[in-house]
Structure 1
Amino acid sequence: MFVSSKMNQIPVWVFLISLFLLLHSTKSEEEEVKHSLLSFFTKLSNNNGPLDSITGWNLTSDPCKDQWKGIICDKRALSVKKIFLDGLNFSGTFDAATLCTAKSLVASLTVVSLNDNNIRGENLEEIENCRQLEILYIRGNQFSGSLPNSLPRLINLKRLYISNNNFSGSLPDLARLSGLTEFLAQNNQLSGAIPNFDFANFGVFNVSYNHFKGPIPRGGARFPVSSYINNPELCGDPLPNCPIPLAASALPSAPGTQKSNGGISRNQILMFSGYFLLGLALLILIILRLLRKREKIKEEKIEAVNNVAAVDGGFKKPNFNSKDDKLDEIKSEISDVSGESGVFSSSLVVLPCSDVNELRFENLFKAPAELLGRGRHGSLYKVICEDQAMPLAVKRIQGWIMSGNDFMRRMQRLDQVKHPNVLPAIAFYCSRQEKLLVYEYQKNGSLSKLLHGTQRGKAFDWSSRLSIAATIAEALAFMHQQLHNDGIAHGNLKSSNILLNKNMEPCISEYGLMVVGNQSLSVNGFQAKEETEDGGFKADIYGFGVILLELLTGKMVQNNGMDLARWVVSVVREEWTVEVFDKALIQEGASEERMVNLLQIAVKCVDRSPEARPGMKQIARMLNTIKGEEEERSMDASEP
């Protein structure tokens, strides 16, 4: 009986000991995660230690329970899933060895985002230990040297953004990452060949402004030329074709055509004669065609100008006379403002970074022009030139208070600042009578049409709207940062100036076309002279706030004569916040919490006091936080 009682007690002791060991092990793992994160943060902050009052990162708190800033956790497992530390001015190092050490951390961490800081890399080869990593964003930093060869071992990696750094050397074999869908590497010093990616899986891809060489892999043509430009030794579709190497040796001659005693065979004589006759016939045809064209060129030019001018609101017809010196007149008109800086024989200034064939001013006038719209500041046309592979959009600017020299300097400065979500100008023309800007035509229209116009039937759910808002904010924050010292803001930001590219991604158009001076500036519905005091940057923030309100409400800027921003603020003040949201979003079941968070940002942006509005960098950071929370919600919803 005693023995039996003794036997019954043994499992209890075993259970207690096991429970103690389990709790001790869990506690040790939590401490290991905290030490790993704090070491990582200390390196990022250049060994100045964690900023407790700002971040809440310290040994006495828990990253998940106490919600450390920039940390997003799995709410059920209380494990760290995402790290967002964008735009916090870190100037230290990203030490992969300190981050990818704690076992429970590397088993759960899926996102690391460190965009727009000033950090460098250290022990980057150790990144392979973060084996669950799906998203790595480190663009806009000071990383240099080669990318780690261990990157292809991150088998779960889906998005990799390394643009705007100083990486050099060849890319590792990233083609091994079968799940990679987004890769941005523009504005680095990378070289060698582009890996043989499966481009069918990619939604975003850009390797422009590097030193890549050789042919673009098969399938790469699904992305535009802008994804590859400024790699001088890169070739193949969509860039110009690669040169065909000369054959190492001639093909063997067929029987009966051998040369005899160093002479030329009969077949060879016939072949060369045929080539000569064919070439002569082609030359005669070309000469006849040119002679015909010369006879009609005067009438064709005059007709083309009249046809374009006849379109409602067409281009203003230049002061041509009937003599043959029409183009000389145009050239002399712009010679005083353009000098020798890139003016082609066609009198149109084609910007160095454009990817069009040689574009001539007279070609624009000869081509059919369709009026797309007219506003207070000019008219917009769709022009199809026969010698261009793509249709063009031509903006005719009116009412500019700017000299020709200032106009040219502004265009050249804007051409130096590139962002994949800001539509660049291809060319411009400036004379005493005209100022024209040429862009690539975007066939998917504008955000305004998608929300309110002919495209409204297309699917436009909450996550798409949030993604568009975050993308615009990042692009605008980048442009503000790069051009603040130049005093060049957008000046006329509105949803009709947000165009959608072929991948339905937003592109800010007409950046910098408004000249902001002492004159009163119209900002989405009201006149505010104080908006111009900082060069128009605060006006851009107001305009962005109105775009956010359009995305949230689905309403146009003018709502039955009442300004949209004023209407929303009045409704929110009466605590009827839910009434402002688009019914389509409510029916979809979009997160009310995140819609309210986005609404709060929009209301701050449209504050009547420009000084009270946040900066674009701060706005972009807040939007990325909301976007990250939405992605986490979507991931949780998709898990069984």
Structure 2
Amino acid sequence: MSRVSIWVLPIVIFLIFHVANSEENEVRQALVQFMQKLSPGNATRGGQWGWNMSSDPCTSNWTGVVCNNQGLVRKIILEKANFIGVLDASSLCVTKALSVLSLKDNNITGLLSEDVALCKDLTHLYLSGNHFSGDLPESLSQLSNLKRFDISNNNFNGELPDMQKISGLISFLVQDNQLEGQIPEFDFSNLKEFNVSNNLFSGPIPDVKGHFMASSFLGDPNLCGEPLTACPPVPMVPTNPMKKSKKPSFQKVLLFSGYVVLGLIVVLFLVYKLLKREKSCEQKKQKPKNKAVPLEIPSSIPSTTTASSDYKDGRGNQTSEYSLTSVESGMAPPLVVLTSPLLMGLTFEQLLRAPAELLGRGKHGSLYKVLLEGGVNLVVKRMKNCGISRDDFKTRMKKIDQVKCQNVLPAIAFYCSRQEKLLVYEYQPNGNLFNLLHGSPNGQIFDWGSRLNVADSIAEALAFMHRELNEDGIGHGNLKSMNILFNMAMEPCISEYGIMEAENQEQSIVSPNIEIRNDSTSKGHAYGSFSGDVYAFGVILLELLTGKMVQENGFDLPSWVNSVVKEEWTVEVFDRALISEGASEERMVSLLQVALKCINASPTDRPAMSQVSLMIKSIKEEEESSISFDS
């Protein structure tokens, strides 16, 4: 048996090597074909030009090619190279990891083919300053990871494809072409660069929310509206009732007969509907009237405090329409409406009667999506026994409301009685960090830069809240990836800040217990609460770096990371998607070191959130400097 194994092992190794080698040859051949189609006959080529079958694009440093740590082509930057051919997208996109393509300022002609959608990881596409022509391919809308798009100074025509659905687009430059039609409704709050000037666009300009000036739209004579001149009113075309018809009388008879027949059909149909409705009403009178199912939570259902992280996604839950009924009969305390224009004049009774949808139940409470009159969507969190007295809860909510932070979702109203507490938030439709990490919709890539931005925003927001609420000792108390929501601009927001005590936080995270000081001073209380937030934030950093869940089938993420790092296999902890992307190993290790400091078993040895925020900002600055240098 051992002899057989000795012979089989080399064969397996040979097959693996042969498959990998064949894939490399396929990519190399495709890139060579791509270059041949660009026709670089007049291009300036030095001794290290490459782009041939006898060398490797990564190890031989082909001109304009940048690879990641796995030897995959990540960027192709060939600007001002005097190319006179066409862009062969089908050959180019064989390189599956390609994220940046720049062919600026060449003499490339022809069409941009539909095959460009095969480059699914493409984030930057620069084709400006060439002689491309024809319609833009509809497949551009499939590049869901695209961030920057520049096709300015070409001869493209036709209408724009449906690119406004690409949520991460931050730069859209199509000026100096011959594009026509109306300008689509982009998410202008997310765009940092936008220019459609010197084309043939027509119609009203969408609401750019004041982000872009007239210079982005000049040279399109048929455009109107802000920030250009106002659109003229649409002229009404009057009809002349005195104008005599020139049709023969026979045609008039036929036309009149058709109208008569059509009118009879409509009358018969209306009679039928009225009879059917009358019969239905008689049946309803005979049967007892069924009341609408209320979103009334029976007192027998145990319900304690929880954050949204305790809830499932709601796919298996009922989504029928409810209406909140009064939790406590008799003299109910009023609904306290905080500073929000959404709820001006809203009463507790109106909130209870509003149609609602049960999003989920957890061990600490229930969560509902409520629809007010006028189409305003809210989220109502119902809690019991949250460990905070009624008076302390009121004081706490009002103090938190006084601290305004862009990346902390404020409660806009609350209700508090002896046994019931309701919190009202504005509904956020773009999901949470947990779902983005562990179940990304639409195949959207959550890349290293986006993860680092989330870490930076959350760290800065927590540091701000800890500083402003230091004297009161109010920490978050239940910080998890499911409590990081994304607003309309896909910016991360911390939800449910301060509604739980720090002691409860440690029960929901696999971690050493927080050592809460026994003194009754606010500083001692703040110490435990803030230290717990630091630990919870460290766990979120581990999720961002590893792509793994905190708890799954007995899996303990902090313990696993510590054990891998202890065995000096640090690279093994990182999410394979980040490795494939070519993310900087050095900066991922730096962020991992910050996370390990946060989850230190000793609360006294954990850094403050202000220190954590500064460390992450330093890593982010290094990342941005590196990107600028590479570009």
**TM-score of the pair, normalised by structure 2:** 0.49
Structure scoring higher RCO (CA < 8 A, sep ≥ 6) equals 2
